[in-house]
Structure 1
Amino acid sequence: MRILTVDIGNTASKYGCFENGVLHETAAVQTVEQLLHIAERLQPRHAIVSSVVEPTTAWATELQRVVPGQVLEFLPATTPLPIRNAYGTPQTLGADRLAAAVGAAWLRPNADTLILDVGTAIKCDWVEGSHTFWGGSIAPGLRLRFQALHTFTERLPLIEMPADLGAPVPLTGADTQGAIRSGVLNGAVAEVNGLIDSYRAQHPNLGVILAGGDANFFQPRLKGRIFVIPELVLIGLHRILVHNVEE
């Protein structure tokens, strides 16, 4: 069975095409019209649309023109899930966080998992034993931190991410730009490593999954064994759709 998953994010939107449970194609998508052309080419049986920035109705309506089966709009508060959602306010929960939790539960059955989704925001979420999503934390991402220092001060310049994400970031900045880089980049790494340490102290057998646009920056700087799964949200959306179609 061929399934199309669509994740509309803050800075980018992506689609994934799954064939019998295996992700065969993924890429960025800019508009509803572009997605429609992709769906016409791929001819999926079913589709799911998720968004953290805008209602999914327009995207789902267009997809329904070319998708013969179900086009599911993923709503964290009401869509049936293959895991338990223990979040206190599901109506305010980001669809990407919950989809990532479903993906983590599918990939690591019966295992405690910490999800680190590092992009526009740095999201840290805990899934207990592959069956319960409890929530976690949300903090500004790297670019938001650079932007905040520039926007809310009079003289600090706007610093861009380094071109070489693997290059060391000096701990001590020898000038203002270097000090900002150290504060934002080294500070964020220390913050995330501290979260990992705190969760592992409570859950010694915890596994860590890293996803998001800045995963390549964080991965070599984090402690312990880290599973890097860039398409975690798409994998979770696939499992949510399968769960609903099979029901």
Structure 2
Amino acid sequence: MNIVVDSGNTYAKIGWFEGPELLRFETRLTFDQLIDAVRSSSVDNILFSSVGKDVEEFRRAIQPNAPVLNLDSQTPLPITKDYETPATLGADRIAAAVGAGYLFPNEDLVVIDMGTCITYDYLDQAARFQGGLISPGMRMRFKAMHTFTQRLPLVEPGPAPTLIGKNTRHAMLSGVMNGLVAEINGIMAAYRTQSPACRVVLCGGDVPFFESLLKPPIFVVPQLVLIGLNRILQHNVNLQNE
């Protein structure tokens, strides 16, 4: 069995795989909960991807000789990177692209990950990661309006309202939600102009707010990052066994 870990600044997500099959996953785990989940599993290989924790801290917490592969800019991948600064490329962006390429091989793919930031990345049919766009995420936009003004409240996300707001909260909600719908549809249209046959694949925690409002065709794969991390782990295990 393989385990893949996607550890963020606050919480971690973990997936258990048998070969390519995702058996189960858990989200919003603290570091201690993550360690308990890994320790309680019988595992052959582990891939650790993190923006906030050092892999050695993770390895020591499990056991010093645990079979942990750390995902960094030097890790071999089943895709190639046509990117000017690969050392700065976020692991989540790469993992989502690898997952999309695994699920939809030999296609031009636009991979949209709706998390803290929204990333729009392009993987061509030859499995070359070309780069993309990074935009503020939904909650970041609400927090920015509250933080950088003196009187605007902190608004919680909700369904996209009518366009014309009749009060301040409504106007802010409309600006963020309808603004994001326009942004995402516009960027998808721009990619489709460049590559008419491209497939759009979405993931990330904020997708449910928007998937019914986006112009089809789109494909939502909630656990795309975990699928991509497991594909990277399988790729490296195969290299070691050659």
Task: Indicate conservation of the 8 Å contact 1:104/1:130, yes or no.
Answer: no
Matches within 5 A, 1:41-80: 41-65=40-64, 67=66, 70-75=67-72, 77-80=73-76
Q: Aligned equivalents of 2:34 and 2:130: distance in 1?
A: 33
Deviation at 1:244, TM superposition (A): 0.8
Q: Give the one of 207, 213, 216 matched to 1:215.
A: 207
Answering whether residue 237 of structure 2 is matched by residue 241 of structure 1, we say no
> 1:109 pairs with 105, 108, 112, which one?
105
1:193 pairs with one of 172, 176, 185: 185
Q: Which runs of 5+ in 1 are unaligned?
A: none
Q: Percent identity?
A: 46
| Aligned amino acid, residue 189 of structure 1 | V
Change in 2 beyond 3 A, CA 1:85/1:63: farther
DSSP-derived class of the 2:76 partner: coil
Q: Distance in 1 between matches of 2:126 and 2:11?
A: 28
Specify the code of the residue in structure 1 equivalent to 2:147. Answer: T
Query: 1:178, 1:11 → 2: CA distance?
Result: 30
How far apart in 2 are the matches of 1:59 and 1:168? 40
Q: State whether residues 160 and 174 of structure 2, in contact with CA within 8 Å, keep that contact through their aligned partners in structure 1.
A: no
Report the AA paired with residue 191 of structure 1.
E
Q: 2:147 aligns with which of 129, 146, 151?
A: 151
CA distance in 2 between counterparts of 1:87 and 1:93 reads 8
CA-atom RMSD in angstroms: 1.5
Give the direction of change, closer, same or farther, for the CA distance of 1:63–1:243 in structure 2 (3 Å limit).
farther
Matched, 1:100 2:75: no
Q: Tell whether 2:85 aligns with 1:89.
A: yes
- Structure 2 gaps of 5+ residues are none
Give the Cα separation in 2 of the matches to 1:63 and 1:130: 38
Deviation, 1:64, is: 4.3
Deviation at 1:196, TM superposition (A): 0.1
Q: Distance in 2 between matches of 1:196 and 1:64?
A: 45
Tell me the SS of whatever aligns to 2:185: helix
Amino acid corresponding to residue 70 of structure 2 in structure 1: E
| C-alpha distance in structure 2 between counterparts of 1:171 and 1:192, whole Å | 16
Quote how far apart the aligned CAs of 1:155 are: 1.0
With structure 2 as the length reference, what TM-score do the two structures score?
0.94
Count of matched residue pairs: 239
Displacement after TM superposition at 1:236 (Å):
0.7
- Alpha-carbon offset, residue 172 of structure 1: 0.5
